[in-house]
């Protein structure tokens, strides 16, 4: 990726991977490496490693790895050019004028820039309409009625989309082509004639910003009884619903500081909660929380209080969210507001102190679930079984055994179940879960590359002075053929053709996922002195292995055709091989 002499290459040479990654992950020195909790999967003990000399990172848990650019691309969800720019900026390297991009890239970039610009224009349009028009006056009265005063309107950029049908269109049309306007999602095209019109009409508008605070969509609430009550921007090149959390751009600092998030359903709720002084609130904007949203949130905190609407949809959403959050190792509490109120309504009616109080008291998710189960019909055996089946999947996800056991007791008490029976069910379920986990671990299991292969790979990367000769020897005798690490060794032999130092990440770029992982695993092994003597003994080990394989083949041929014309030759070869192996066994003994 980073061509020698290119700007990318220069940045890579100068960038300190430990410092760059250290801005995202807390790293501690561990031997020659640095170690921390992996930002790409959830874990409790660190398996994410950064190698300062080789300038690579690798996670032994989820097997991600690469160089500093790859890391930034993954973290920032950006492309290669953007990653170079970010790394350069972090390391104080002056960025030259942007290089010529491919026409495709340039077009997409331009389109995104314009779409953001259109949203900015729309935002100005909506806020002005709320402020200055007679229609807007009605909307303001409605907002005021819901406790949203002028300062809140300004703070959250609330606006109004007029009923005209093409008021926004007429303004945008003077600057942007129709096609782009439709792509923005703010303008719709009617199905028959292709006539354009405003998507949002007679609605209160809430700007939805991405993590960096750029408006990328709008959420809109009907002013009257128009259906649907809530209408949001569709998916566009700059907006994907499952990747955005409403209010995250303003909540970031508070999330880090307080180390927990309040998760609500809609923007009205988020605004109400933020107004109550809890700025670490985010809204999923829709009833279902998506996995990318959880990943996004996990960069700031792993503790969440779910405070969804108490209606049926909200309850289902709460349960689904609990599952997803537990899978990502979140600590989850659930706030079910009394009186079936949503956060907005509750705060309006009871005040913010009352909300703060119930928020503080919100129970761990298991309590919430037990309460739900208790509302099921527990008078029959079947009803009880349903209740247990409802609870089991969640209890199973409690990682701590003692805690799980404690919950089992509580569930048994609260649902009036026979505790030993419940425990038996639980451990059965737990065993099933363990076997699942085991299978998965085997699937991605460690490589079975031999110590000799491992050492040779390290020497091919690092063996200053003899790297080249070693590669030639392996290549000449084709010692790597048939080994588990064949492709890795082949890639390293190819890379050794020049005198340039080997860039592990560039070699890795030509390997498939599994081989790349094996290579990185090996490169992170403890360093030991690399000498030519060692290299020779590794080569010998490979020769030996090859002899063993050949011997097995010869033996098979002999057995397959014991009276064939080649028998004499085969037997001779067998003798040779056995002698050779005996000699090398003596040498190594």
Count the residues of the shown chain that bind Zn ion, applying the rule CB under 5 A.
6
Task: Name the DSSP class of 339.
Answer: G
Total length of the chain: 589
Choose one: 52-60, 127-135, 230-238, 491-499; the region binding Zn ion (CB under 5 A): 52-60
Q: Quote the least distance from Cβ 71 to Zn ion, whole Å.
A: 12
Q: Does 37 bind Zn ion (CB under 5 A)?
A: no
Query: Strand pairing of 215-222 and 203-209?
Result: antiparallel
Distance CA 417, CA 410 (A): 10
Choose one: 57-65, 89-97, 356-364, 442-450; the region binding Zn ion (CB under 5 A): 57-65
Q: Quote the least distance from Cβ 59 to Zn ion, whole Å.
A: 3
**Contact with Zn ion (CB under 5 A) among 7, 34, 40, 300:** 40
**Contact with Zn ion (CB under 5 A) among 38, 84, 255, 270:** 38
Residue corresponding to tokens 């996004």: 296
Q: Quote the least distance from Cβ 475 to Zn ion, whole Å.
A: 35
Q: Give the largest CA-CA distance in the chain.
A: 106
Nearer to Zn ion, 59 or 415 (CB): 59
Choose one: 51-59, 152-160, 391-399, 401-409; the region binding Zn ion (CB under 5 A): 51-59
Q: Quote the least distance from Cβ 47 to Zn ion, whole Å.
A: 6
Kindly tell me the burial class for residue 292, based on how many C-beta atoms sit within 10 Å of its own C-beta (0-12, 13-18, 19 or more): middle
Q: Quote the least distance from Cβ 298 to Zn ion, whole Å.
A: 12
Q: Quote the least distance from Cβ 468 to Zn ion, whole Å.
A: 35
Choose one: 38-46, 121-129, 457-465, 470-478; the region binding Zn ion (CB under 5 A): 38-46
Nearer to Zn ion, 394 or 520 (CB): 520
Smallest CA-to-CA distance from 242 within 224, 217, 222 is with 217
3-state percent breakdown (helix, strand, coil) of the chain, nearest 5? 55, 10, 35
Choose one: 21-29, 55-63, 150-158, 503-511; the region binding Zn ion (CB under 5 A): 55-63
Smallest CA-to-CA distance from 11 within 49, 55, 51, 50 is with 55
Residue corresponding to tokens 């209408």: 231
Choose one: 54-62, 240-248, 299-307, 554-562; the region binding Zn ion (CB under 5 A): 54-62
- The answer to whether the Cα torsion of 527, 528, 530, 535 is positive or negative is negative
Q: Quote the least distance from Cβ 22 to Zn ion, whole Å.
A: 16
Distance CA 47, CA 39 (A): 10
Choose one: 62-70, 240-248, 265-273, 407-415; the region binding Zn ion (CB under 5 A): 62-70
Nearer to Zn ion, 85 or 299 (CB): 299
Q: Quote the least distance from Cβ 38 to Zn ion, whole Å.
A: 3
Nearer to Zn ion, 41 or 348 (CB): 41
Distance CA 35, CA 48 (A): 6
Smallest CA-to-CA distance from 323 within 383, 362, 282, 368 is with 368
Nearer to Zn ion, 42 or 447 (CB): 42
Q: Which positions ≥6 away from 169 have C-beta within 8 Å?
A: 181, 187, 196, 197, 198
Q: Output the six-digit token pair for 369.
A: 């679930």
Q: Quote the least distance from Cβ 66 to Zn ion, whole Å.
A: 12
Nearer to Zn ion, 45 or 134 (CB): 45
Q: Which phi and psi angles does 288 have, rounded to 5°? A: -110, 130
Q: Does 61 bind Zn ion (CB under 5 A)?
A: yes
Nearer to Zn ion, 68 or 114 (CB): 68
Q: Output the six-digit token pair for 426.
A: 């639980």
Nearer to Zn ion, 62 or 116 (CB): 62
**Contact with Zn ion (CB under 5 A) among 11, 59, 84, 278:** 59
Q: Does 75 bind Zn ion (CB under 5 A)?
A: no
Q: Quote the least distance from Cβ 61 to Zn ion, whole Å.
A: 4
Q: Quote the least distance from Cβ 76 to Zn ion, whole Å.
A: 17
Q: How far is CA 506 from CA 14, 73, 573, in A?
A: 17, 16, 42
Structural contact between residues 83 and 17, judged by C-beta atoms closer than 8 angstroms: no
Q: Is 5 helix (H, G, I), strand (E, B) or coil?
A: coil
Choose one: 59-67, 149-157, 287-295, 341-349; the region binding Zn ion (CB under 5 A): 59-67
Nearer to Zn ion, 26 or 575 (CB): 26
Nearer to Zn ion, 41 or 473 (CB): 41
DSSP H helices, 299-341, are 312-327
Q: How far is CA 508 from CA 41, 363, 490, 491, in A?
A: 21, 48, 12, 8
Q: Which phi and psi angles does 49 have, rounded to 5°? A: -120, 145
Residue corresponding to tokens 């063996």: 463
Q: Quote the least distance from Cβ 46 to Zn ion, whole Å.
A: 10
Q: Does 41 bind Zn ion (CB under 5 A)?
A: yes
Q: Which run of H or of E encompasses 139?
A: helix 134-145
Distance CA 358, CA 435 (A): 40
Q: Does 407 bind Zn ion (CB under 5 A)?
A: no
Q: Quote the least distance from Cβ 31 to Zn ion, whole Å.
A: 19
**Contact with Zn ion (CB under 5 A) among 37, 62, 171, 392:** 62
Distance CA 264, CA 267 (A): 8
Distance CA 473, CA 543 (A): 11
Nearer to Zn ion, 40 or 125 (CB): 40
Interacting residue ranges for Zn ion, rule: CB under 5 A: 38, 40-41, 59, 61-62
């Amino acid at each position: 990726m980073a061509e020698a002499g290119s700007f990318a290459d220069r940045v890579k040479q100068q960038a300190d991977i430990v410092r760059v990654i250290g801005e995202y992950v807390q790293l501690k020195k561990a031997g020659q490496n640095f170690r921390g909790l992996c930002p790409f999967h959830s874990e409790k003990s660190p398996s994410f490693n950064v190698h300062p000399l080789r300038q690579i990172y690798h996670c032994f848990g989820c097997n991600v790895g690469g160089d500093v650019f790859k890391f930034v691309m993954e973290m920032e969800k950006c492309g290669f050019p953007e990653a170079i720019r970010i790394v350069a900026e972090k390391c104080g390297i002056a960025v030259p004028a942007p290089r010529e991009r491919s026409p495709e890239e340039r077009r997409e970039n331009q389109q995104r820039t314009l779409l953001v610009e259109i949203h900015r224009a729309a935002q100005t349009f909506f806020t002005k309409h709320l402020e200055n028009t007679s229609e807007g006056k009605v909307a303001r009265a409605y907002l005021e009625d819901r406790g949203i005063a002028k300062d809140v309107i300004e703070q959250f950029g609330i606006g109004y989309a007029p009923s005209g049908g093409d008021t926004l269109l007429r303004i945008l049309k003077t600057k942007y082509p129709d096609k782009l306007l439709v792509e923005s999602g703010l303008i719709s095209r009617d199905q028959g004639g292709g006539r354009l019109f405003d998507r949002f009409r007679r609605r209160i508008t809430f700007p939805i910003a991405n993590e960096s605070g750029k408006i990328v969509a709008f959420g809109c609430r009907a002013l009257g009884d128009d259906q649907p009550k809530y209408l949001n921007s569709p998916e566009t090149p700059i907006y994907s619903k499952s990747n955005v959390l409403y209010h995250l751009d303003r909540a970031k600092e508070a999330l880090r500081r307080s180390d927990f998030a309040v998760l609500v359903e809609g923007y009205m709720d988020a605004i109400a909660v933020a107004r109550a002084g809890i700025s670490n609130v985010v809204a999923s904007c829709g009833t279902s929380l998506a996995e990318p949203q959880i990943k996004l949130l996990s960069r700031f905190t792993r503790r969440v209080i779910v405070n969804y609407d108490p209606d049926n949809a909200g309850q289902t959403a709460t349960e689904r969210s609990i599952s997803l959050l537990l899978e990502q190792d979140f600590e989850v509490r659930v706030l079910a507001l009394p009186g079936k109120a949503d956060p907005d309504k509750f705060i309006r009616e009871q005040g913010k102190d009352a909300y703060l109080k119930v928020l503080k008291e919100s129970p761990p998710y298991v309590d919430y679930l037990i309460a739900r189960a208790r509302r099921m019909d527990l008078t029959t055996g079947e009803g009880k079984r349903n209740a247990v089946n409802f609870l089991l999947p969640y209890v199973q996800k409690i990682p701590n055994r003692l805690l799980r056991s404690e919950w089992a007791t509580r569930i048994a008490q609260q649902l009036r179940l026979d505790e030993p029976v419940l425990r038996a069910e639980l451990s059965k379920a737990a065993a099933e879960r363990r076997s699942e986990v085991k299978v998965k671990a085997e699937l991605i299991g460690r490589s079975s590359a031999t110590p000799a292969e491992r050492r040779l790979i390290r020497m091919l990367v690092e063996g200053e002075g003899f790297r080249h000769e070693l590669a030639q020897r392996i290549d000449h005798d084709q010692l790597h053929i048939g080994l588990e690490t064949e492709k890795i060794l082949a890639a390293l032999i190819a890379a050794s053709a020049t005198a340039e130092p080997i860039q592990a990440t560039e070699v890795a770029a030509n390997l498939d996922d599994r081989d790349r992982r094996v290579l990185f695993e090996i490169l992170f092994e403890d360093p030991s002195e690399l000498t030519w003597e060692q290299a020779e003994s590794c080569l010998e080990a490979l020769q030996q292995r090859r002899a063993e394989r050949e011997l097995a083949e010869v033996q098979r041929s002999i057995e397959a055709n014991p009276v064939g014309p080649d028998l004499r030759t085969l037997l001779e070869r067998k003798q040779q091989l056995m002698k050779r192996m005996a000699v090398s066994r003596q040498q190594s003994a």
